[in-house]
Structure formats: C-alpha cells, structure tokens
Amino acid sequence: MKTKTLRIGILTGGGDCSGLNAAIRAVAKSLMLNCSAEIIGINDGFLGLIEQRTRVISYADCSGILSLGGTILGTNNSANPFNYFGEDVSEKVMDYYVSLGLDGLVVIGGDGSLSIAHEMSKLGMNIVGIPKTIDNDLMGTDRTFGFDTAVSIVTDAIDRLRTTGQSHKRVMILETMGRYAGWIALHAGIAGGADVILVPEFAYDIDEVAKACQLRMGEQHYSLVVVAEGAKQVGGEFTIRETKEFSTDPIRLGGIANVLKMQLEEKMDAEIRATTLGHIQRGGSPTAFDRIFATNLGTYAASLVANKHFGSVVVLKNNQVCSTSLKYVANKSRLVTLQDPALASALSLGICFGNTELEAGLHSLNQAIPNSTD
C-alpha cells in the first residue's frame, strides 16, 4: 500500500530578519530529503492563510538562498486571523488549512506570530514554531536568529560613529531597534565600546547620562551613546513613531535618539548628533553564526514535524537545541534582567546606564559571586 506523502506548510511571520531563508531552506530540504515531504509555502505570513496565497516550494527553490537576506516567502507583521480589520477570520483560516491537505505547518516567527500560532493550534492546526527576531526577546529561548546579524550591523555603525565623533569632538547618539527589550543596544554597545547604553528595562536619569557624557568628553573629547528605541526617562513615556489599528504590533517605537539629543543639549555644552539605524538592522546577508543557528533550528523543527511533535517551538537552552511548548512562548517576552552576564560585565566596565539603582545592583551581584576553588 502506498503511504501518503507528508504535506507541510511553511510561513514566515512578523518583521523580517537575516537568516529567514536559511531556516526555510533547512526545514524544506530536511523534510524533502528525509521524509520525501511536499512543501507548501504560505506567502506573506498569516496574511497568506487569510487571503489564500500559497505555492509549492521545490528543492531548487531552496538552493542558493542560505546567504540571502529577507524571506523568499514574504512576511507581514500586522495580519492577525483573530482580529483582521476587526473580524475574527480564524475559522476560515482553519478551513483553508484543511483544504490545503496539510499535515502540519512550520511557523517561523517572533512573539506575535507564535502567539497567533498558539491560538491556531488550539483550533486544531498542527504547528511547530521556530523563533526569529532581531529583538532576541522571545520567551523560552536564550537566543533568536537574526539577532547576531543585527548586533554586527549596529557594532559596525558604532565603529563608524566613533571615528567621526572623534574627529569633531562630538557626542554621538545611536538609536537601535529592539522594541521593549534592550538586547541589541546592550550587546552592540559592549561590542562597540559605548560609553552609555540606555535600555528599556532600566529607565534613565538624564542628569546621570549628561554626567557620563561630560566625563568622557573631558577624557577623550568625544562620547558614544547607544540608546534602544524602547528606552525612556525615569517617569517618562515611550517615544512612539506611529500607531496602527488592527495590527499584531500596533505601536511602532522610534525617535528616542532625537529626544535624547534635545534633553542632553539642555544639560551640556557640546555638539551632539543623533543617528537612527532603523531597518538596516534587519536587512542583508546573515552572519555565519545566524546561518548555522537558523539551519540547526530548521533541521530540528523538521524532525519535530516528522515525529508529529506539534504544538512545540524549537529553542536554544544552555547551548542546546531542544523544544518547548507554544503555550510557554506565547504572549510573553524575555527582557534584560539584573542577572544577565552581559549587563554585569558592562556595569563592571563602568558603562553608564543612566540608572544609579542599577549600579547599586552591581554591588549585590559582586557579593553573590562565590569564591573560586581552582
């Protein structure tokens, strides 16, 4: 008796990032080679399921895309089947999924897409999730692909701002993406040798920031500030670029670099310039790390699909690729905490976070370090 060919859908949802094609390639090639599966690409994230846009993905479609930025499937970070312009179209989406004859669906997405995936799995969709986002803020995984590439791009930008800041003796402010998480700013700030790093998790006191910049101007005649788009002043509000109704991501942050520039200009007598990197952080070729990482997550997801281990998400925990449940990941985010080792080393290096309580926290961190016996 001929066994039915496995038919698996793939979609990429939410904001794009480098490494999406590497993940698509890994899932598709692995399922084709090991399970003779047929792969159906869903175009433009969940919008493709709503508006019924699909196509067959061949083995040839997956060749030569490992190093390619963006996503060959297209993506969308606003369409939500549970609130599509005010209407719940999730049942229709479910009917379409059934009509496609899919045995399962791989959703490559961030918190928004994986939260939708969780809701769809409750309706009976067989889903395996793969975490992606430059923001690195997904619950349940120590890392998402796309983050390493974004950090490399921001680090390169800091290196460039350093030389021009040095020539002109200026305070240079660089705004990164990351939404409500400070991972990109923290990691790139350390890699680029920033004097000040401002992250959403710890509100800043402008006087502390001005003091740190002033000190560095005195010592080295320039100063580098990296600010995450979600950073805010103590008692202040987020800086919002725009709001969008009926979107999985209704608030677009952005503009804090210019706000900070104006705040600093009132406090110090120096030339200050602000740069916002924006979507450059999401584009282009993935780093070698992200190519390998996305590939490892993709092949692991393929094995979860082959074993019908649905309702799960591939994650990285303690350097080990493994899986957790969609339920665990959905509707949460992972933020920088006081216990984070990168934060601890930045504080030890004297990098200013504009938050004296955080610096006080460093003392308790140091006290918590046990004596080494070797």
User: Known catalytic residue: 137?
Assistant: no
Residue 134 binding ligand F6P, by CB under 6 A: yes
Q: Are 121 and 248 in contact (CB under 8 A)?
A: no
For residue 43, is it left (φ>0), alpha (ψ between -120 and 50) or beta? beta
Least distance (Å) between residue 47 CB and ligand F6P? 14
Residue 15 binding ligand F6P, by CB under 6 A: yes
Least distance (Å) between residue 278 CB and ligand F6P? 8
Taking the least distance from each CB to ligand F6P, the nearer of 17 and 37 is 17
Interhelix angle 183-191/147-168, rounded to 10 degrees, is 50
Least distance (Å) between residue 302 CB and ligand F6P? 25
Measured at the alpha carbon of residue 239, what is the angle toward residues 217 and 357, in degrees to the nearest 5? 55
Residue 135 binding ligand F6P, by CB under 6 A: yes
Measured at the alpha carbon of residue 323, what is the angle toward residues 317 and 326, in degrees to the nearest 5? 115
Which is catalytic among the residues 111, 135, 137, 148? 135
Residue 133 binding ligand F6P, by CB under 6 A: yes
**Helical ranges in the chain per DSSP H:** 20-35, 46-50, 90-99, 111-122, 147-168, 183-191, 206-220, 256-265, 288-306, 326-329, 341-348, 356-368
Among 23-31, 130-138, 323-331, 334-342, the segment contacting ligand F6P (CB under 6 A): 130-138
Query: How many residues line the site for ligand F6P (CB under 6 A)?
Result: 13
Interhelix angle 111-122/90-99, rounded to 10 degrees, is 80
Contact flags string 301-340 toward ligand F6P, x per CB under 6 A: ----------------------------------------
Taking the least distance from each CB to ligand F6P, the nearer of 117 and 134 is 134
Residue 201 binding ligand F6P, by CB under 6 A: no
Q: Are 77 and 177 in contact (CB under 8 A)?
A: no
Least distance (Å) between residue 168 CB and ligand F6P? 29
DSSP codes of every residue in 90-103: HHHHHHHHHHTT-S
Residue 253 binding ligand F6P, by CB under 6 A: yes
Taking the least distance from each CB to ligand F6P, the nearer of 173 and 177 is 177
Q: Are 127 and 120 in contact (CB under 8 A)?
A: yes
At 223, list the tokens: 């100063």
Q: Which residues are catalytic?
A: 135
* Chain contacts with ligand F6P (rule: CB under 6 A): 15, 77, 110, 133-135, 177-179, 229, 252-253, 282
